[in-house]
Structure 1
């Protein structure tokens, strides 16, 4: 009993004295003003404008209208779609309303803290649920680690608009800022669903910040190749992964949070981050960059029981993919990082970097894919020189306010 009490005291002392820069940060709570954790309760205006087919000339969507996306809407190459702050765009259920910004086109969705842009369901408030419409797809000509250097989108059936990838790291697909995406991720068939936001071969001039994605029935964000960064993103109650990275993506994710919930998980191994370099090794171009994701000030919070919830590992890391974790907080999982067997057999875990990070209330820290503790990896990361702490404080004591129903503030206490 004395040992347990001492561990708790030390854990509490560590969190209380942790550097202020761990987890999501900000002098004020940057959730305020533009987010909504109860979108099912909002009565949005009925759509008075329909968007369908191909957008072949520059277009601006204005705040004084409410728009309905019907079917697959394509922003053609060379065209810019601009959305004014405060504009509401609703996605049609029956036709799986989806907005695709093809390679060479741009989306300028630059909302504001007081006037966010909202993509949401077209159903009445009482009937909304995850998967009510398709989502947003951005495609660019940045490098992907695929033989031939280009690929076709799994989600876009029209071959005229499905190609992505190229040689342009500075590719610019536009801006998504102060934007909410709600109830997206409708299933295409029994095996595949759309994501709230899909980025394919998107380059580093694309700006993605202050984005809240809520109640997506698949991944909140899927990134396939490219070189693009994220800042101030909230993934809330995703059914599958919060972030899915593959095909050689080079990305830094900063000041971002994934909030898991037991009522929004599926049985296909949902994670906060799924990181790999290829779907099939025979498609991988060894001359291209392998997937590398850097997490700065990221909070991964699981509000499930470790032994009962469907979300087990915070991060799933596959062979030939790499992650660096800096100033992060991971709380409430069965495993912090689950490595695949090849990763563990080759001791590739020694290439992974974890700095100034707190892992709290997790059953294990480093495991294999079956969530059995890997002692070699654990011994490696727990060496004294690693700036890394394991605590057992609990989510109710870690954050200023983890109640999403009452103005949540996930900065550390």
Structure 2
């Protein structure tokens, strides 16, 4: 902290236009959550299974909307095969055998749904709950920062089929567009818990947009290394973190939302965004890139209607956590209803180098019990002074959710999480 008082950084004040001020959090001339999302997935009705997928898919294969498929055990797409999934197709993960879909390095998934006809991955149980099945794992040959340049995911899977990492930052693992992943993240004793969507060593030519992960028992989206561009991601009530980045991930997250509730932000320290450069320092190769994430127009919201009571009882935790040696820039975003908004690892020195790695600009901090803190410290005056500079255009408010957002408690299953300021929709 003492280095901070010696550090002077002079910036010019920029007068933002009124329209720019409105563009915080998710935006669009229309509510892009309409049609393809599902906010009550436990009540959604899907066709019964007609086809079973199991073992290895070693040749180009297409799944059709007319059928409903069951992932029985781990299903591996291997041998550089392409798995194409028709819009509107339903794939169920088997509870008893921990159904999981693994796209191995060199293979591709072409899951291109439509706004009015999304592709759905869900549980095969009659009463669906978080952690019913494994999830989706996509492996590529983009760089990671572990020694040796490759690794395997530590799930309950065949390690010979789960190798990822390489040197092709622009590698192409396919397309995920208008896809929902529901009730995944199964816990397996002796192994790392599954996530809804695990993206490991995936390159920048992979298309990932309009993907919704709902009620994952672990993380919704975990990004392990690689170079990813993700747009219009939705995480709904994950038990783990909504977006977790590590192993040197070079990632952009745009126009996306993490929707939490106080009872899903418990002592497990689940966060909307968690950024780290490694899981174990001794495994990290510091000659390679550290994790760097740019999150723009992201909404992070606690939807509890008893927020004051939840804050007082200690149910609410931070929205964002940044570990040492990782870079995070959050811009034009909304953080609403957390305690506090952002926490920095206590090993981070508040100096010029760190502030170049940690950029928080044009953020709407709403109903947060504190904004930016260092871990294990109750004094954030230096951080408040720095990020409170008018040049960063950060705003602090205490508005109720129904006053701040257009229609988040919509009873017809069509919520609108765009913000309203002066009755002006946050739109481009």
TM-score range, shorter chain: over 0.9
Aligned partner of 1:410 in structure 2 is 417
Mapped partners of 1:76, 1:318: distance in 2:
35
Contact 1:332/1:394 (CA < 8 Å) preserved in 2? no
Offset at 1:217? 0.4
1:348 shift after superposition: 5.2
Q: In 2, distance between residues paired with 1:190 and 1:374?
A: 39
Q: Distance in 2 between matches of 1:402 and 1:288?
A: 42
Partner of 1:293: 293
Indicate if the aligned counterparts of 1:262 and 1:309 stay in contact, CA closer than 8 A. Answer: no
Contact 1:235–1:259 (Cα < 8 Å) also in 2: yes
Q: State how far apart, in whole Å, the 2-side matches of 1:404 and 1:119 are.
A: 24
Name the CA shift for 1:371/1:390 in 2 (closer, same or farther; >3 Å): farther
Select the residue among 79, 82, 91 that pairs with 1:80: 82
Equivalent pair of 1:37/1:404 in contact (CA under 8 Å) = no
Is 362-371 or 93-102 further displaced after alignment? 362-371
Secondary structure, aligned partner of 2:209? strand
Alignment partner of 1:378: what SS?
helix
Q: Structure 2: how far apart are the matches of 1:285 and 1:66?
A: 44
- 2 CA distance for matches of 1:238 and 1:116? 20
Whether the aligned pair in 2 keeps the contact of 1:116 and 1:179 (CA below 8 Å) is yes
- The separation in 2 between residues aligned to 1:401 and 1:349, in whole angstroms, is 38
- The equivalences for 1:249-264 within 5 A come to 249-264=249-264
**For residue 36 of structure 1, what is the aligned residue in structure 2?**
38
Counterpart for residue 357 of structure 1: 363
Partner of 1:336: 341
3-state SS in 2 of match to 1:232: strand
Q: How many pairs are equivalent?
A: 397
Task: Name the CA distance, whole Å, in 2 between partners of 1:191 and 1:140.
Answer: 21
Q: What secondary structure sits across from 1:390 in the alignment?
A: strand
Contact 1:271-1:311 at 8 Å conserved across structures? no
TM-aligned CA deviation for residue 309 of structure 1 = 5.4
Selected match of 1:392 from 377, 392, 398: 398
1:344 Cα deviation from its structure 2 partner:
4.0
Tell me, yes or no, if the aligned pair for 1:325 and 1:354 is still in contact at 8 Å.
Answer: yes
Partner residue in 1 for 2:57: 55
**TM-score, reference length from structure 1:** 0.92
Query: For 1:85 and 1:357, how far apart are their aligned partners in 2?
Result: 36
Alignment of 1:1-400 (within 5 A): 19-124=21-126, 127-155=127-155, 157-189=157-189, 192-304=192-304, 305-308=310-313, 310-344=315-349, 349-351=354-356, 352-370=358-376, 372-400=378-406
Query: Could you say what secondary structure the match of 1:341 adopts?
Result: coil
Counterpart CA distance in 2 for 1:404 and 1:344 is 44
Greater Cα offset, 109-118 or 265-274: 265-274
| Residues 72 and 98, structure 1, Cα contact 8 Å, conserved in 2 | yes
Question: Alpha-carbon deviation of 1:367?
Answer: 1.3
Is contact 2:172-2:206 (8 Å) kept?
yes
Structure 2: stretches of 5+ with no match in the other structure = 1-15, 305-309, 421-428
Distance 1:310 1:240 in 2: 15
More divergent stretch after superposition (53-62 vs 185-194):
185-194
Corresponding position of 1:11: none
State the superposition RMSD in angstroms. 1.8
In 2, Cα distance between the equivalents of 1:68 and 1:373?
Answer: 53
Q: Distance in 1 between matches of 2:378 and 2:183?
A: 34
Is this contact kept in 1: 2:119–2:178, CA < 8 A? yes
Write the deviation string for residues 98-126 of structure 1: whole angstroms up to 9, x where unpaired. 000000000000000011000001011xx
Other structure's SS at 1:229 match: strand
For residues 109 and 178 of structure 2, what CA distance do their matches in structure 1 show? Answer: 14
1:395 Cα deviation from its structure 2 partner = 1.5
